[in-house]
């Protein structure tokens, strides 16, 4: 990463050159997909394994030792001035949603490796080690659990999630063993993968996934807090029947009940300040044009910067769904699949990011994150902070996700400069 600190123009050219190299790496990484029209890379899938292999190779070229840990994360380590010194953890995730963009998660991993590559090129060692971690399960799309890899590193892994099954009935533990992870070790002692005991902090670069930075005309932002999130799976059981013969009155139509519930979710969130709620997936059984739906299953995602607003909002939504089920004489089951509290970022690290951005000539905007991130799993475990990068139109979880080479290069330069000026004393 040839970021020369000489003149502003030269520094900017160096950053743009680096940014173009980062985008090229991200293009290559996007090629590891599970198929479909755009990028889909699910936890422990063949595409995840291929991406992990490519990434480990690049990490080693960049001067790190690299391995896949018990939970399927790719971990690269670059020693500090004293071998075996405690590490600052850097990274993000390389799993994606379905039909994803190329930058969600991967930008944070590729930026972190590029920073190590530059330090290694210069033969520069920091007062601490660096560990770059590519988490494999941030999105929680394949299995009905989330942050499996991140929680393993943070020491909060729940062995019960090894039994979570995907849509094909494959259990997470089985898939992890096939991937090269160590489910038995995680089941016996979840702390086997924990890396926080000898870590100083966690820093993450990530696209904003919203429009705030672009509207403010600012390339990078410092995250103040990450919204909390609750996820549920709702099951609705009615009575399947012949679409042509069953009278309308008295039907127990599971899809019609689900439709009522989806609108109840939207209504509650629209009328509750600071609350967002989404039904992202709806499966219908048996799913035939001439059959009244006997069953339906929907996912529910509820978020807020305020944990009380989120919990009260989720409770109100579930109450409304129960009333709809009763009125329509269908059965309703509710399974909460995850809950992650809102996570404030560490002021000293936020200030370190802001100072580095200022040294690069950018006055960063401070903003909350509506999206969840691996960083939130480290709240209360390690000092943590995030640097956001502007993305076009705030579009994300969409193949149209887009960033510029200049912004990517700036983010890498800011991350490197933050590490060179890290207030280590303020972190203990």
Report the Cα 46 to chain-centroid distance in Å. 19
Helix %, strand %, coil % of the chain (to 5) = 40, 25, 40
Task: Mark 349-388 with x for binding to ligand HGY (rule: CB under 6 A) and - for no binding.
Answer: ----------------------xx----------------
- For ligand HGY, the closer CB: 192 or 338: 338
| Residue 372 interacts with which of Mn ion, ligand HGY, none, CB < 5 to 8 Å by class | ligand HGY
Residue 49 backbone phi and psi in degrees, to 5: -65, -45
| Residue 69 interacts with which of ligand HGY, Mn ion, none, CB < 5 to 8 Å by class | none
- For Mn ion, the closer CB: 349 or 386: 386
Shortest distance in whole angstroms from residue 282 CB to ligand HGY: 17
- For ligand HGY, the closer CB: 138 or 208: 138
3-class DSSP state for residue 164?
Answer: coil
Cα(44)–Cα(34) distance, integer angstroms: 11
By the rule CB under 6 A, 137 interacts with ligand HGY: no
Cα(295)–Cα(307) distance, integer angstroms: 32
Cα(198)–Cα(129) distance, integer angstroms: 10
* Token pair 């920091």 in the structure block, residue: 126
Binds ligand HGY by CB under 6 A, chosen from 118, 137, 138, 253: 138
- For Mn ion, the closer CB: 63 or 105: 105
C-beta of residue 112 within 8 angstroms of C-beta of residue 90? yes
- For Mn ion, the closer CB: 330 or 377: 377
C-beta of residue 320 within 8 angstroms of C-beta of residue 390? no
Number of residues that bind ligand HGY (CB under 6 A): 4
Shortest distance in whole angstroms from residue 398 CB to ligand HGY: 12
Shortest distance in whole angstroms from residue 154 CB to Mn ion: 16
- For ligand HGY, the closer CB: 1 or 371: 371
Binds ligand HGY by CB under 6 A, chosen from 139, 166, 204, 417: 139
| Residue 295 interacts with which of ligand HGY, Mn ion, none, CB < 5 to 8 Å by class | none
Shortest distance in whole angstroms from residue 294 CB to ligand HGY: 30
- The size of the chain, in residues, is 428
- For Mn ion, the closer CB: 15 or 390: 390
389-428 per-residue burial string, b: 16 or more CB within 10 A, e: under 16: bbbeebbbbeeebbbbbbbbbbbbbbbbbbbeebeeeebe
C-beta of residue 311 within 8 angstroms of C-beta of residue 211? no
C-beta of residue 128 within 8 angstroms of C-beta of residue 119? no
* CA dist list (Å): 217 to 11, 15, 292, 313, 408: 20, 18, 51, 33, 15
- For ligand HGY, the closer CB: 161 or 371: 371
Shortest distance in whole angstroms from residue 382 CB to ligand HGY: 19
By the rule CB under 6 A, 204 interacts with ligand HGY: no
By the rule CB under 6 A, 149 interacts with ligand HGY: no
Site residues for ligand HGY per CB under 6 A: 138-139, 371-372
């Amino acid at each position: 990463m040839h970021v020369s600190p000489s003149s502003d123009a030269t520094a900017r050219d160096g950053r743009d050159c680096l940014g173009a190299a980062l985008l090229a790496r991200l293009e290559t990484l996007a090629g590891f997909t599970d198929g479909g029209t755009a990028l889909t890379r699910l936890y422990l899938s063949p595409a995840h394994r291929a991406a992990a292999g490519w990434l480990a190779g690049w990490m080693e070229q960049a001067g790190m030792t690299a391995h896949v840990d018990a939970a399927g994360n790719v971990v690269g380590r670059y020693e500090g001035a004293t071998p075996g010194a405690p590490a600052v953890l850097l990274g993000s995730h390389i799993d994606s949603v379905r039909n994803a963009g190329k930058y969600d998660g991967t930008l944070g991993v590729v930026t972190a490796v590029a920073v190590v590559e530059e330090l290694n090129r210069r033969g520069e060692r920091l007062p601490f080690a660096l560990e770059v971690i590519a988490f494999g399960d941030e999105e929680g799309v394949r299995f009905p659990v989330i942050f499996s890899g991140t929680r393993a590193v943070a020491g909060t892994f729940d062995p019960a999630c090894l039994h979570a099954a995907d849509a094909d009935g494959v259990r997470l533990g089985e898939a992890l063993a096939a991937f090269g992870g160590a489910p038995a070790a995680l089941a016996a002692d979840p702390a086997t993968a924990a890396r926080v005991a000898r870590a100083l902090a966690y820093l993450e670069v990530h696209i904003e996934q919203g429009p705030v930075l672009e509207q403010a005309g600012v390339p990078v932002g410092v995250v103040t807090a990450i919204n909390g999130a609750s996820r549920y799976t709702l099951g609705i059981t009615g009575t399947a029947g012949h679409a042509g013969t069953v009278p309308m009155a008295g039907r127990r139509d599971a899809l019609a009940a689900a439709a009522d519930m989806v609108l109840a979710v939207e209504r509650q969130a629209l009328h509750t300040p600071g609350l967002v709620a989404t039904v992202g997936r709806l499966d219908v059984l048996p799913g035939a044009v001439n059959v009244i739906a006997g069953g339906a299953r929907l996912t529910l995602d509820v978020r807020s910067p305020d944990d009380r607003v989120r919990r009260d909002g989720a409770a109100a939504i579930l109450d409304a769904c129960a009333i709809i089920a009763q009125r329509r004489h269908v059965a309703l089951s509710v399974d909460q699949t995850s809950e992650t509290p809102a996570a404030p970022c560490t002021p000293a690290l936020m200030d370190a990011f802001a100072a580095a951005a200022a040294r690069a000539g950018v006055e960063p905007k401070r903003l909350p994150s509506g999206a969840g991130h691996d960083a939130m799993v480290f709240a209360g475990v390690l000092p943590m902070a995030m640097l956001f990068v502007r993305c076009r139109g705030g579009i994300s979880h969409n193949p149209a996700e887009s960033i510029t080479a200049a912004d990517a290069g700036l983010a890498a330069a800011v991350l490197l400069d933050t590490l060179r000026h890290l207030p280590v004393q303020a972190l203990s």
